[in-house]
Homo-oligomer: A and B are copies of this chain.
């Protein structure tokens, strides 16, 4: 993880990719979103999706998973270089959540995050506030998922 001072608007992180298999789509759906088009191939084909489709909450959760994994790799690398590690705070919110194209069984989605804005926190001077656009793109280059995420990012200690 980086500190607030190290981050610039426009910086892009490639977060990695994830293949939504039929098995994983059905497993998530059975737990959290048991609608027929998320549980059964034939029902998916008959639906507006045109195939067995991942729950949007599954797509969002996988994006979160890759954001966290990427940040943990960065933290590990910083620690290995003997640098201080920035521990990011929680997200006070997300905006503009969009599922633009269905994620169907077998699709591989590549996720990325691009910094859109940076500002100071008046209430919490030890934190900066970052907005980043997190996106998912399928193997055909179609944007399938987009969300504007807000996060608290620690400032370098001045002590």
Contact = CB atoms under 8 A, between A and B. Distances in A.
Interface of A: 31-37, 47-49, 53, 55-57, 60-62, 64-65, 68-69, 72, 87, 89-99, 102, 152
Contacts of A57: 57, 60-61, 64
A97 B93 contact: yes
Nearest to A60: B57
Interface of A is mostly: mixed
B32 A64 contact: yes
Contacts of A97: 93-95, 97
Contacts of A92: 99
Contacts of A31: 61, 65
Given A48-B152, A97-B97, A152-B48, A91 B56 contact: yes
